[in-house]
Amino acid sequence: MPLTELAANLHMHTPYSDGESYHAEIAEAAMRAGLDVVLVTDHNVWVQGVARYYAHDGQRVLMLVGEEVHDQTRQPQKNHLLVYGAERELARHAPQPQELLNAAADVGGLTFLAHPVDPPAPLVGETDLSWVSWEVTGFTGMELWNYMTSFKALLTSRASALRYAYNPELGMTAPFAEALAQWDRLTTAGRRVVAIGNSDAHGTEYRMGGLRRVVFPYEFLFRQVNTHLLSEAAPTGDYAHDRALVLEALAQGHCFVAYDGAALTRGFRFSATHERGTAIMGDDVNNKNGVTMQVASPAAASLRLLRNGVEVGRWDNQTHALVHIAAGETGVYRVEAHLLFNGRLRGWVYTNPIYLHL
């Protein structure tokens, strides 16, 4: 059965915390950008009564509401956590990250470390908001690529701030190498860690000298770094049904991180065929008898297969790749695709792994 693919953005703010646009306006921006799902995550407040389908001119977008939880009294500020699907306020647990993760899991919530690698930007008064409590366990995954964090890292001088405020695509190349390395370390050590990519949209207007610019509008950001979800069930338009489908795809890692701003990623697939069927990204496979891994891309790209964080296969300027993995081989296999955009090779797609074990 063909998979249903849902383009989603899972980290953004409204005036309930420090964002500019309310939920209905965000839904309009998401529909214009062609997203299927948005998940709003205000700081330390779970907003009720706005999660539903929004529709306009024959289009619809599913809006879910979670929360970005962090300890506001902590000095310095660190450890931002995205909580999805808990359907209750959890901010009181923020001072103890492990307690917060446990409390979210107890009520069926999913948890993702927000911008786990987050360099400071002193020029604009932004501090380092990295995740530092790496001793915790039980989180669902991590934000491998946060567009606004990547943008912040480009603001090393007034000249670069101006350049990238008007042309952020010139500086946007890939997730941070440290974020990729941390993800690979965790999965190679046997942990299941689902990678997602998001905007962290606020719609904030910045002023520098006589210039004013919104950095960046929600609609613009919804066309940049997203998470594409894969589901065997199709959405029906029923809120509860489709919400469950989204949360299930996230829990299973049936998703990939997509830089749609470089080229549209819809249709990208990574699968492994074995004697009992076909596994997709996020799945476990018992590799007693060998598997065939397949990559299919909607645009020609440099397709790279990594095992435990190390490149083991590479197909340049291709839309398809096929590789047989011998019986008994184990490891964490994931795919990266890179392509040329504005004259530079960019990280474009980062799939969740297929885990081969015995």
Residues that bind Zn ion (CB under 5 A): 68, 80, 114, 200
Three-class SS state of 314: strand
> Which of 115, 274 has the CB closer to Zn ion?
115
> Which of 199, 231 has the CB closer to Zn ion?
199
Three-class SS state of 78: coil
Distance CA 81, CA 97 (A): 9
> Which of 17, 330 has the CB closer to Zn ion?
17
Q: How far is the CB of 82 from Zn ion (least distance, A)?
A: 8
CA diameter of the chain: 66
Q: How far is the CB of 66 from Zn ion (least distance, A)?
A: 11
> Which of 78, 185 has the CB closer to Zn ion?
78
**Sequence-separated (6 or more) residues with CB below 8 Å from residue 316:** 302, 303
Preceding amide of 119 cis, omega within 30: no
Residues β-bridged to residue 211: 208
316 sits in the region (left: phi over 0; alpha: psi -120 to 50; else beta) called: beta
Q: How far is the CB of 208 from Zn ion (least distance, A)?
A: 22
Residue 330: exposure state from Cβ atoms within 10 A (0-12, 13-18, ≥19): middle
**Sequence-separated (6 or more) residues with CB below 8 Å from residue 106:** none
Distance CA 83, CA 193 (A): 15
Q: How far is the CB of 146 from Zn ion (least distance, A)?
A: 8
How many Å is the Cα radius of gyration of the chain?
A: 20
> Which of 200, 283 has the CB closer to Zn ion?
200
Q: How far is the CB of 114 from Zn ion (least distance, A)?
A: 5
Task: Let me know: does 84 contact 39? Beta carbons within 8 Å.
Answer: yes
**Position of minimal CB gap to Zn ion:** 80
> Which of 216, 270 has the CB closer to Zn ion?
216
Distance CA 240, CA 209 (A): 48
Q: How far is the CB of 203 from Zn ion (least distance, A)?
A: 12
Q: How far is the CB of 224 from Zn ion (least distance, A)?
A: 15
Residues β-bridged to residue 354: 333
> Which of 80, 338 has the CB closer to Zn ion?
80
Alpha helices (H) along 232-318? 239-252
